[in-house]
C-alpha cells in the first residue's frame, strides 16, 4: 500500500496542472435508481404488517409526491445544487450499506492451482468471501451475510422464517472469520494452492457490544429531533401543493394511479405475487415518468423544487451527522488469531478491544486493547509457552473545526514478557523463499509512547504525519530508543477522486 | 368518515379521527395536525361543515426505517399508508386532508359509495361532552 502510495504521489507531481481546475463531471443518470427506490418501497409496502391498502398505487399519488420530486431532481441533475444533492444522497447509501464489500483491489497475477482455490474463487464471485491481496499474502474474509446470500443464490437455503432470518442476521452482524495464505511458502512457491503450508494465519472476531447501529434506541433522540425540522417539512408541503395545483401533473398522477390499480394491484390481490406486481409496476412507472418529463414544468413547481432541494440537502447533512455520531459509539470486540510460522509453534493471540468516542459530541476517539499471546507448544529451547501480555491505549482528537481537521494522537503500549522467548522477524523481501527468521526476545517490560500530529492537505488525499516515539527497549534489544519522524501518506481513493473529478 | 381519493377524506362535523403508527427499523414518526402533535392518537374534525384540516405524518430514521399509518374509521374500517426512509427520500412526509361536510351530505356520499355510514357524532351537539363520540367510535371498532 505504501509503495502504491509513493507511486501515485509521483504521478500526482507529473500530472498536468490543468487537471486541478476541472469541474466535477456530470452526475450519472439517476432516474432508474429513483424508480428502483419507488418500486422497492411498493414491494415493502405490499409485505408490510399491518397490511397496507394500496401498496403500489399510493407510492406516487396525492399528498405523497417526494418521489416525483426526486425524479425531477434526477432529470435536472446538471444543475449544480441538484447534482450535489444526488451525490450526497448516494454517498449516504454507499456509506451505510451493511456488509458492503470493499472496492475491488484490482487484479492479481497470483496463479492458482488445485480444487481448494477454485472453491475460494467461486465463493468470492458469489460474494461469500472477500479477497484482499498484499505482497505475497492473500487474505479471505468470511462475510456471513455474503455466505447466506450465496447459499440463497445457489438455491441451497430458503430464508422464509422471520425468526431464522433475524437469528442469522444477529449472528452475521457480530461474527467474522479471516484466513491469510502466504503464497511464497511451500513447494509451489508463487502459486496459490491453499495448502496447509501456505496458511499463514487465521482469525476469528466476535463483537460483544456494538452501540454503533443508528437504528438502536440509543439514537432515538437524534432522530426525533430531526422530526422537528419545520422548514424542511414546509418545503415538502410546498412542493406537494405546487404539484397539486399543476393541472397537467394531477391528470398524469390520476392516470398513473388508475393504471397501477388495474394492472398491478388487481392481479396482486388475486394472486398475491408481490414480485410479479413489482415488475409490472416498475415497467409502468418507468414509462409514465418518461411522459411526465415531456410536460413543461410551471415556474411555481421549479421554485418549490429549488426550495425542497435546499432543505433536503440540509436534512441529509443532519442525517450524516447522526450516522457519524452513532459510528463512534462504544464497541467491544474479542479477537482470536493464530499465527503460523515456519520455525515456531502456532502462536495464539487473544485480544479484547474497546473503542468509543469520548465527550458529548464523541469527537475524541479512545481505543484500548489488551492481549495475551501464547504458543500452542513450547518452542525448542524455551521453557514456557506463554509469550507476552500487551496493553495499548490511544487517544485521537481533531484540532479545530476546519474540515479536514488536523488530528493529535497519543498512544502508549505496555508489554510484559514473563520469560525469555522467541519471536519471528521479517528479514527479507517478501519474494525470497525464507518466510521469516527466529530471534530470541529477553524477558522484561517494554514501554512505548508515541505522540503524533497528522495534518491533512485539503482535497489532495495527502496527510503529513509528524511523530515522536520513545521506548525503554524493543522486544529484541534492551536499549532505550527515542526517535522523531515525518512522512506523507496518501489515500488513493481520494486521490483518484481528485484527479478524475468524480466523487 | 369516507375516503374520496388517496389521503383525502370527508367526515361529519366533530367526528373523531383515530391515527396509529407502527414504526420499524429504528425510525421515529410524528403525527401533527395544524403543526401540533396529536394527543392520544386522536383528533376531532372541526364542527363546521365546509372546514378542512390537514394531518401530517413525518418519518425519520436510518435507511430502511418504515412506518405503517392506520387511520380509522374510514368507510367502516381502516385506511392504511406506508412511509419508508430510502436513498432518494430519506425523510418522508405524507399529508392527509380531511374535509367536513354536513351529516346529510356525508350520508348521501356513503350511500352513493355503498359504504357504511358512521353514526352522527354527538360532539356536534353543543351540549354533548367531547368524549362521547370517541366511545362510540371505539365500540364500533371493537365489534
pLDDT tens across the length of chain A (503 residues): 333 333 333 333 333 333 333 445 567 899 999 999 999 999 999 999 899 999 999 999 999 999 999 999 999 999 999 999 999 998 866 544 332 222 233 233 344 444 555 566 666 665 667 777 766 778 887 766 666 666 665 544 444 444 455 666 666 667 788 888 888 887 777 788 877 888 888 988 888 888 888 998 999 999 999 999 999 999 999 999 999 999 999 999 999 999 999 999 999 999 999 999 999 999 999 999 999 999 999 999 999 999 999 999 999 999 999 998 998 899 899 999 999 887 789 999 999 999 999 988 898 989 999 999 999 988 888 888 999 999 999 999 988 766 678 889 999 999 999 988 888 775 544 444 444 578 888 899 999 999 999 888 776 667 888 989 998 987 777 778 888 888 777 665 555 555 554 44
- Report the residue from B61, B63, B97 with minimal CB separation from A63: B97
Low-confidence residues of chain B, pLDDT below 70? 115-143
CB contacts of A54 in chain B (<8 Å) are: 6
Q: With an 8 Å Cβ cutoff, are B26 and A61 in contact?
A: no
Cell matching residue A285: 412507472
What are the structural domain ranges in chain A?
Answer: 3-88+218-324, 120-212+327-500
CA A347/CA A373 separation, integer angstroms: 7
Q: With an 8 Å Cβ cutoff, are A89 and B87 in contact?
A: yes
Unique residue bearing C-alpha cell 414544468: A297
Q: Cα A172 from chain centroid? A: 15
**CB count in 10 Å sphere of residue A200:** 23
Say which residues have a Cβ less than 8 Å from residue A210's Cβ, sequence separation at least 6: A173, A174, A329, A331, A332
User: Is the overall model pTM greater than 0.80, yes or no?
Assistant: no
Q: Which residue is closest to A62 within chain B, CA to CA?
A: B6
Residue A47 is classified by DSSP as H
Q: With an 8 Å Cβ cutoff, are A227 and B61 in contact?
A: no
CA A31/CA A114 separation, integer angstroms: 45
CB contacts of B66 in chain A (<8 Å) are: 44, 48
Residue A490 is classified by DSSP as E
Q: Which residue is closest to B35 within chain A, CA to CA?
A: A230
Q: Which residue is closest to A224 within chain B, CA to CA?
A: B28
User: By the 8 A CB rule, do A187 and A114 touch?
Assistant: no
Q: What is the pLDDT of residue A12?
A: 35
CA A495/CA A343 separation, integer angstroms: 41
Q: What is the pLDDT of residue A403?
A: 64
Q: With an 8 Å Cβ cutoff, are A62 and B8 in contact?
A: yes
List % helix, strand, coil for chain B (3-state, nearest 5): 15, 45, 40
Query: What is the bridge-based pairing of β-strands A175-182 and A137-142?
Result: antiparallel
Residue range A120-212+327-500 in CATH 2.40.160.40: yes
Task: Enumerate long-range contacts of A294-298, CB under 8 Å, 24 or more apart.
Answer: A295/A248, A295/A249, A295/A252, A297/A72, A297/A246, A298/A242, A298/A246
Chain A interface includes B128 (CB < 8 A): no
CB contacts of A86 in chain B (<8 Å) are: 88
Amino acid at each position: 500500500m505504501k509503495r502504491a502510495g509513493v507511486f501515485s504521489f509521483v504521478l500526482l507531481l507529473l500530472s498536468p496542472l490543468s487537471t486541478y481546475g476541472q469541474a466535477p463531471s456530470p452526475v450519472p443518470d439517476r432516474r432508474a435508481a429513483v424508480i428502483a427506490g419507488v418500486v422497492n418501497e411498493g414491494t415493502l409496502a405490499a409485505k408490510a404488517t399491518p397490511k397496507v391498502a394500496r401498496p403500489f398505487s399510493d407510492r406516487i399519488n396525492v399528498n405523497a409526491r417526494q418521489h416525483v420530486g426526486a425524479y425531477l431532481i434526477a432529470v435536472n441533475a446538471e444543475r449544480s445544487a441538484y447534482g450535489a444533492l444526488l451525490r450526497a444522497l448516494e454517498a449516504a447509501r454507499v456509506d451505510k450499506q451493511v456488509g458492503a464489500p470493499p472496492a475491488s483491489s484490482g487484479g492479481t497475477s497470483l496463479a492458482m492451482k488445485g480444487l481448494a482455490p477454485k472453491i475460494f474463487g467461486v465463493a468470492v464471485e458469489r460474494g461469500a468471501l472477500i479477497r484482499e491481496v498484499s505482497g505475497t499474502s492473500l487474505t479471505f474474509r468470511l462475510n456471513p451475510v455474503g455466505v447466506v446470500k450465496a447459499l440463497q443464490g445457489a438455491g441451497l437455503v430458503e430464508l422464509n422464517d422471520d425468526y431464522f432470518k433475524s437469528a442469522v442476521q444477529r449472528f452475521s452482524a457480530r461474527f467474522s472469520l479471516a484466513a491469510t495464505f502466504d503464497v511464497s511458502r511451500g513447494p509451489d512457491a508463487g502459486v496459490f494452492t491453499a495448502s496447509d503450508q501456505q496458511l499463514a494465519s487465521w482469525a476469528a472476531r466476535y463483537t460483544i457490544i456494538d452501540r454503533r447501529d443508528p437504528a438502536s434506541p440509543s439514537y432515538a433522540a437524534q432522530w426525533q429531533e430531526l422530526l422537528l425540522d419545520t422548514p424542511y417539512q414546509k418545503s415538502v408541503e410546498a412542493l406537494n401543493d405546487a404539484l397539486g395545483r399543476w393541472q397537467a401533473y394531477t391528470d398524469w398522477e390520476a392516470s398513473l394511479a388508475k393504471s397501477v390499480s388495474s394492472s398491478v394491484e388487481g392481479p396482486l390481490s388475486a394472486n398475491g405475487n408481490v414480485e410479479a406486481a413489482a415488475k409490472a409496476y416498475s415497467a409502468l412507472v418507468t414509462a409514465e415518468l418518461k411522459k411526465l418529463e415531456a410536460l413543461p414544468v410551471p415556474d411555481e413547481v421549479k421554485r418549490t423544487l429549488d426550495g425542497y432541494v435546499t432543505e433536503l440537502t440540509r436534512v441529509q447533512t443532519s442525517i450524516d451527522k447522526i450516522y457519524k455520531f452513532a459510528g463512534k459509539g462504544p464497541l467491544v470486540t474479542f479477537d482470536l488469531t493464530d499465527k503460523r510460522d515456519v520455525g515456531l509453534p502456532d502462536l495464539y493471540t487473544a485480544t479484547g478491544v474497546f473503542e468509543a468516542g469520548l465527550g458529548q459530541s464523541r469527537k475524541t476517539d479512545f481505543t484500548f486493547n489488551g492481549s495475551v499471546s501464547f504458543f500452542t507448544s513450547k518452542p525448542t529451547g524455551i521453557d514456557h509457552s506463554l509469550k507476552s501480555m500487551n496493553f495499548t491505549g490511544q487517544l485521537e482528537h481533531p484540532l479545530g473545526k476546519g474540515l479536514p481537521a488536523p488530528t493529535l494522537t497519543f498512544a502508549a503500549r505496555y508489554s510484559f514478557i514473563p520469560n525469555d522467548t522467541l519471536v519471528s522477524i521479517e528479514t527479507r523481501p517478501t519474494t525470497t523463499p525464507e518466510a521469516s527468521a527466529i530471534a530470541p526476545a529477553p524477558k522484561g517490560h517494554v514501554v512505548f509512547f508515541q505522540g503524533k500530529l497528522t495534518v491533512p492537505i485539503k482535497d489532495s488525499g495527502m496527510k503529513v504525519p509528524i511523530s515522536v516515539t520513545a521506548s525503554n527497549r524493543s522486544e529484541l534489544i534492551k536499549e532505550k530508543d527515542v526517535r522523531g519522524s515525518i512522512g506523507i501518506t496518501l489515500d488513493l481513493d481520494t486521490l483518484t477522486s481528485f484527479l478524475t473529478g468524480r466523487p | 368518515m369516507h375516503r374520496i381519493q388517496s389521503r383525502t377524506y370527508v367526515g361529519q362535523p366533530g367526528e373523531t379521527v383515530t391515527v396509529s403508527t407502527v414504526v420499524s427499523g429504528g425510525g421515529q414518526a410524528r403525527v401533527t395536525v395544524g403543526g401540533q402533535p396529536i394527543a392520544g392518537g386522536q383528533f376531532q374534525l372541526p364542527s363546521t361543515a365546509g372546514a378542512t384540516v390537514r394531518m401530517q405524518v413525518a418519518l425519520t430514521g436510518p435507511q430502511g426505517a418504515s412506518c405503517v399509518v392506520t387511520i380509522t374509521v374510514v368507510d367502516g374500517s381502516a385506511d392504511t399508508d406506508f412511509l419508508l426512509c430510502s436513498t432518494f427520500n430519506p425523510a418522508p412526509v405524507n399529508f392527509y386532508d380531511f374535509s367536513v361536510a354536513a351529516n346529510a351530505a356525508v350520508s348521501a356520499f356513503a350511500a352513493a359509495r355503498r359504504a357504511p355510514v358512521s353514526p352522527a357524532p354527538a360532539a356536534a351537539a353543543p351540549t354533548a361532552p367531547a368524549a362521547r363520540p370517541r366511545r362510540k367510535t371505539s365500540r364500533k371498532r371493537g365489534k
